[in-house]
Amino acid sequence: MGADAARRGAWAGLVAGLAVVAAMYVAALLTGMRGLPDLLQQQILSVMPGPVFGFLIDNLQHAGKVIEEAGLIAAMVVILAGLGAAAGFVTARYRAPRAGLLAAAVAWLLVALAALPLAGQGLLGLNEGLTTPLIWALVFVVYWLVWEYTWGGQTPAASAAPVDLDRRRIVTMAPVLIGIGSLALTGALKVPDWVRSVVAPPESGLTGPVPEITPVDHFYRVSKNFTDPVVTARGWSLSVSGAVGRSLRMSYQDLQGVPAVSQYVTLSCISNDVGGDLISTGKFTGVPLRDLLTMAEPRPGAAAVNFRARDGYTESLPLSIVMTSPEIMVVHRLDDAALPDAHGFPARMLIPGRYGMKGPKWLEEIDVAASEGGGFWEQQGWDSQAVVKTTARFDSPADGGVVRMRATDLAGVAFAGRRGVQVVEWSEDGGRTWRQADFKAPLSPLTWVLWRATWTPTAEGVHALTVRARDGSGDLQSAQQAPSFPSGASGYHTVRVTVGR
C-alpha cells in the first residue's frame, strides 16, 4: 500500500511540479523575480571544472546554455515529484490530511533557506524585499493545490455507490490536462528564446564578407545568465570606492556629463572557435577609466581595480595597467546610441586587446584595492590575462561552398588585439606555399582588418583553403589547434570548397 501511495503521490507531484515551473516563469514575467534555474546557475558553474565547461562551450556554443537551463527545469520537476511521493507515502501511512501542504512548505523552505541565500539574495530572499519570499510562497501554493487535486482524483472510491463514469473520466483527465497545459505555458515562455539563441543568434545574421562596423543588431552577445538583467537609468548609479581619497557615486546623467571619448574597438569572446563569429566591431563612447580613478585619487598601496556588475559578474585589472591605458573605458554608448540592454546598459567596461570576458556589462561598482579580487570565469580556471590571440578567418567562400573554374574572391577578417595586423596570408595547398592578401587599413589600432584576395582554381574537385595572420610585431599566429579553454582557441582556419565548371 505504501509503495502504491508513493507512486500516486509522485504522479501528483509531477503534475504539481510542472504547474510550479509555469507559475514561476509567469511570476518572473510579471514581477521580475528570477526563476530557480537562473538563481542556481552561477553556483553550478562555480563548481563545474573549467575544462568540462570549456568542452561544452567549444562543442555546443549557444546550445549549451539552453541544455543547462532545460536540465535544471527537469531536475526541479523531479525533486518536486519526489516530494510528492513522500507526501503520498505520509498520507497513506499516517493518514495525514495535509501532507501536500507540508510538501509545498518543505519546497518553499528549500528555496528560502538555501537557494535564495546561495544566489546572494539573503535569508528568505529579503535582500530583494519582502515580496520575494511572498511570491515564492504563492508559487508553492500552486504546488499544494494541484497536488491535492491530483491526489484526490486518484483516490479509490470509498463506497460501492454507483460511479458517475463521465465525472470520473473528467476527474482522471484533469491532472493530465493541467500537466500538459503547464508544460505548454512554460514552452511558450521559454522555447522561442531558446530557439532564437541556438538557431539565430545575433552574430549569425551576417553572411559573406562582413561590414567593417558590425550592425548593433548583429553584434555578438554572450553572457553567463539565463535571463540578463534589465537596468533602468533611473535609480542606477556607479560607485568608485575602496582605497581612494574621494569616493564617487555617479548617476547615469553624471556619467554622461564627464568628458567622453569615442573609439572603434573589436571585441571577441574567449569561447570563439577558430573561424567563429563571436567577434564584432563597433564605435564605443565613454569615459577613460583612468580619468575616473584620477578623480577618486587612489591611495598609496592601491594596486588593483575590481569590478562588479548587476548580475553578480566580477572582474579585475592591475591598477598600473589601467593608469597607463587610456583606451580602457567605462562606456555608455555604442555606435552613437545608448548601449542596448543586452550589451550592458547603462554602462559596461571596455578593455581593448582582451577577450570580452574581461569587460563586465551592467557595471555598478569599481573598487580600488590592494589586490585583485579575481574574475567570475578565472575562478573556474580561465586565463586571468585573457589577451586576444592573433587570428584570421574566411568569410567567403563558405565552408562546403561550390565555386566555378574562374577567378574567385576570397575575403575575411584578421585580428590581433592591440598588436595590430601586419600581414595576412592564404594557402591553397595545405600550407606548403603562402600568398599575401590585401587588406584595408583598420578603423583604429584596436580593430580587425578586412582582407581580400583572388584565387583562380586550376583543377576541379575539393580544395582546402587556409588563412593565417602575423601581428604588428611580425609574430605569426599559432598553428597549433587548441580549444578555447583556458586562454582562447588557436589554429589556422580552413574551408573546403568544391570547384566545378
Q: pLDDT tens-digit profile of 188-233?
A: 999 998 888 887 788 877 778 999 999 999 999 988 888 888 999 9
Q: Which pLDDT belongs to residue 166?
A: 54
Percent of the chain scored above 90 by pLDDT? 66
| Structure confidence at residue 60 as a pLDDT band (50, 70, 90) | confident
Domain endpoint, select from 199, 225, 251: 199
| Structure confidence at residue 153 as a pLDDT band (50, 70, 90) | low
Q: Which pLDDT belongs to residue 170?
A: 57
If one counts the domains in the chain, the total is: 3
Domain endpoint, select from 380, 402, 420: 380
What residue numbers bound the domain in which 307 lies? 216-380
Q: Where are the beta strands (DSSP E) in 353-400?
A: 363-369, 391-396
| Structure confidence at residue 167 as a pLDDT band (50, 70, 90) | low
pLDDT averaged over every residue in the chain:
90
Residue 210 lies inside a defined structural domain of this protein: no
Q: Are 490 and 478 in contact (CB under 8 A)?
A: yes
For residues 161 and 298, membership in a common domain is answered with no
Beta strand pairing call for 337-338 and 421-427: unpaired
Q: Which pLDDT belongs to residue 171?
A: 54
Structure-block grid coordinates of residue 456: 583562380
For residues 282 and 422, membership in a common domain is answered with no
Q: Cell 472510491 sits at which residue?
A: 157
| Structure confidence at residue 158 as a pLDDT band (50, 70, 90) | very low
For residues 350 and 408, membership in a common domain is answered with no
Q: Are 440 and 237 in contact (CB under 8 A)?
A: no
CATH number of the domain that 320 lies in?
3.90.420.10
For residues 370 and 314, membership in a common domain is answered with yes
Q: Which pLDDT belongs to residue 224?
A: 85
Q: What is the helix (H) or strand (E) element at residue 235, kind and residue range?
A: none
Domain endpoint, select from 380, 404, 422: 380
For residues 327 and 470, membership in a common domain is answered with no
Q: Which pLDDT belongs to residue 218?
A: 94
Query: Helix 2-31 to helix 99-110 angle, to the nearest 10 degrees?
Result: 50
Q: Which pLDDT belongs to residue 75?
A: 93
Angle at 423 between CA 418 and CA 424, to 5 degrees: 105
Percent of the chain scored above 70 by pLDDT? 95
Whether residue 410 is predicted with pLDDT greater than 50 in this model: the reply is yes
Residue 208 lies inside a defined structural domain of this protein: no
Q: pLDDT tens-digit profile of 302-355?
A: 999 999 999 989 999 999 999 999 999 999 999 999 999 999 999 999 999 999
Q: pLDDT tens-digit profile of 5-52?
A: 888 899 999 999 999 999 999 999 998 888 888 888 877 777 777 777
Whether residue 366 is predicted with pLDDT greater than 60 in this model: the reply is yes
CATH number of the domain that 486 lies in?
2.60.40.650
For residues 362 and 440, membership in a common domain is answered with no
| Structure confidence at residue 159 as a pLDDT band (50, 70, 90) | very low
Residue 207 lies inside a defined structural domain of this protein: no
| Alpha-helical runs (H) found in 298-440 | 319-323
For residues 321 and 420, membership in a common domain is answered with no
CA dihedral 57, 58, 59, 62 (to 10 degrees): 40
Q: pLDDT tens-digit profile of 239-252?
A: 999 999 999 999 99
Q: Are 37 and 72 in contact (CB under 8 A)?
A: yes
